Structure 1
């Protein structure tokens, strides 16, 4: 049900990293600490630079465990970029130019090697929400109810999507970025499949149609994953297909709600969920420097989506129980 979960952010050069101050600082840092190699990550050289930076700055974010930074693959060049970013930010602020982005991202204070602490925490909250609510679903819905397994598949896909979101916000590298996008896209696609199967419930040949549509969705996801990994990470195309499938999903469920909300009071929960999803996406459309160097619009969007899982699973619980009653009625008539 998430439309903008995969809206990409440019990773090209930004005003901050194009500035002369940042460039000069970076070149000096690389030459003095990384043997002149941007990709150099020799253990001894990195170790010396880690302690040099700690001695110079003495701040809490720069006294993090050396071994944690190494485990998260913060290379010597990465440390130089982080080290040079903050004096450049201060210069922009003092010159009244305003905070600028670096390599397509706002400057964040790193915490124990975590690149975006707030977005990481709020991604975990979203994951926990699904785990908690699927436990409630199991208590209130019989295993024999229609869509019992479907809801579990939905939960698994959402959990892996939020897991990759967590990993990506901990450390943004090409692999974690792609897995974050693909994890979120799998959630969007499965939501479309869920809607399609729900509409066909109890209709003739519904199983065949659901199987065919599921295979089509699955093959498209595999193809998209292959091209993203091995051909090109096309940010514009990625955004386009996510918005397209998300719009179909939202529009479809909205029409379904309009059709049944008078006869089935619990459908209002679905309608409320859709309205809140549309409202929370306003955070994703906003873009401002992080508050306290921690909370940006994207992180606040993740925070706003965390409670929505509760509302959606409440709807799924009531809908599954309703369909269980329908199934029993059909069995009596048979």
Structure 2
């Protein structure tokens, strides 16, 4: 998925490096999740929990950069520093004070809720100007809706699939929608003759992140105000 993004979106796109970093943070989290579910040790458990929190916090930063930071870089820098401090405090508490599962769940749920509301507000504000706004809203609603499986546990189906396993399985198609081709998309194309709200149906489907990165690249080249 990351290779598809890199091959489709030029490096000059304003969100290119931020999204690449987000992808790497996510890959690291899923790596440690795989290791932990293969072998449960003190280290692998900590890395699984801490890296998952890092993904959620970085998603807040990604949201901040996209919604505010492109026009006000200082804001995203301040938020980034705050998130690093929050992550450091979170990890320090769980490592040196008490590895409290309830606290960890509450902290991640709170961060996720902030992320959800922030993205949905941005989607609503741009529903009339960005044709792909619905895709962003769909992704965040699905991701956070599926997260309820972590809170509303149920006995394993066929003694194999419990709520946690179903959650892991169900997030695959959602991330597919977020990162690579899944639906036939509206894609920005003509750099000179099109305006910011003039799009056409692409023959090859792309994702929200690809759509948005290409949109930002083209609006920057055309001198159009970023939404």
Normalised to the residue count of structure 2, the TM-score between the two structures is 0.81
Matched, 1:194 2:77: no
Aligned residue number for residue 5 of structure 2: 137
Unaligned runs of 5+ in 2: 180-206
CA-to-aligned-CA distance 1:52-95 (integer Å, 9 cap, x gap): xxxxxxxxxxxxxxxxxxxxxxxxxxxxxxxxxxxxxxxxxxxx
- Residue 317, structure 1, aligned to residue 210, structure 2: yes
Equivalence for 1:265: 131
The answer for the alignment partner of 2:199 in structure 1 is none
In the alignment, the residues of structure 2 paired with residue 202 and residue 285 of structure 1 have an alpha-carbon distance, to the nearest angstrom, of 35
Q: CA deviation at 1:183?
A: 0.7
Equivalent of 2:117, from 238, 243, 251? 251
Q: Which has the higher contact order (CA 8 A, sep 6+)?
A: 1
Instruction: Please state how far the C-alpha of 1:171 moved relative to its aligned partner.
Output: 1.9
Instruction: Give the whole-Å Cα distance in 2 for the aligned partners of 1:279 and 1:219.
Output: 28
Instruction: Tell me if structure 1 keeps the 8 A contact 2:69–2:76.
Output: no
Once the two structures are superposed, what CA deviation does each residue of 1:87-124 show, in whole Å capped at 9, x if it has no partner?
xxxxxxxxxxxxxxxxxxxxxxxxxxxxxxxxxxxxxx
Match of 2:46 in 1: 178
Q: Give the whole-Å Cα distance in 2 for the aligned partners of 1:218 and 1:260.
A: 29
2:81 to 215, 230, 249: 215
**How far apart, CA to CA, are the structure 2 residues paired with 1:281 and 1:242?**
10
Q: How does 1:7-46 map to 2 (within 5 A)?
A: none
Cα displacement (A) at 1:170: 1.1
Q: Does 1:157 align with 2:50?
A: no
In the alignment, the residues of structure 1 paired with residue 156 and residue 102 of structure 2 have an alpha-carbon distance, to the nearest angstrom, of 25
Q: 2-side partners of 1:188 and 1:146: how far apart?
A: 21
Kindly tell me the number of residue pairs found equivalent between the two proteins.
Answer: 197
2:127, 2:133 within 8 Å by CA — same for their partners in 1?
yes
Question: Following the alignment from structure 1 to structure 2, what is the Cα–Cα distance between the partners of residues 284 and 227?
Answer: 22
1:126-163 CA distances to partner (integer Å, 9 max, x unpaired)? xxxxxxx1111111100111110101100011011111
User: Could you say which structure has the larger radius of gyration?
Assistant: 1
Shift of 1:201: 4.1
Query: Whole-Å Cα distance in 2 between the matches of residues 235 and 312 of structure 1?
Result: 29
Residues 205-242 of structure 1 deviation map (CA, whole Å, 9 limit, x = unaligned): x2222222111111221222122122211222212211
Deviation for aligned residue 1:166 = 0.8
Listed one character per residue, the Cα deviations across residues 294-317 of structure 1 (whole Å, up to 9, x for unaligned) are 211110111000111121121111
- Equivalents in 2 of 1:171, 1:190: separation in Å? 26
Spell out, residue by residue over 1:157-200, the C-alpha distance to the aligned partner (whole angstroms, 9 max, x if none): 10111111111111222322221111110000000111111111
Unaligned residue ranges in structure 1 (runs of 5+)? 1-132
Shift in alpha-carbon separation, 1:285–1:231, aligned structure 2, 3 A: closer
Between 314-323 and 266-275, report the one with greater CA deviation: 266-275
Stretches of 4+ aligned residues off by more than 4 angstroms: none
Q: Give the aligned partner of residue 167 of structure 2.
A: 301
Q: In 1, distance between residues paired with 2:217 and 2:119?
A: 20
Contact 2:56 2:108 (8 Å CA) reproduced: yes
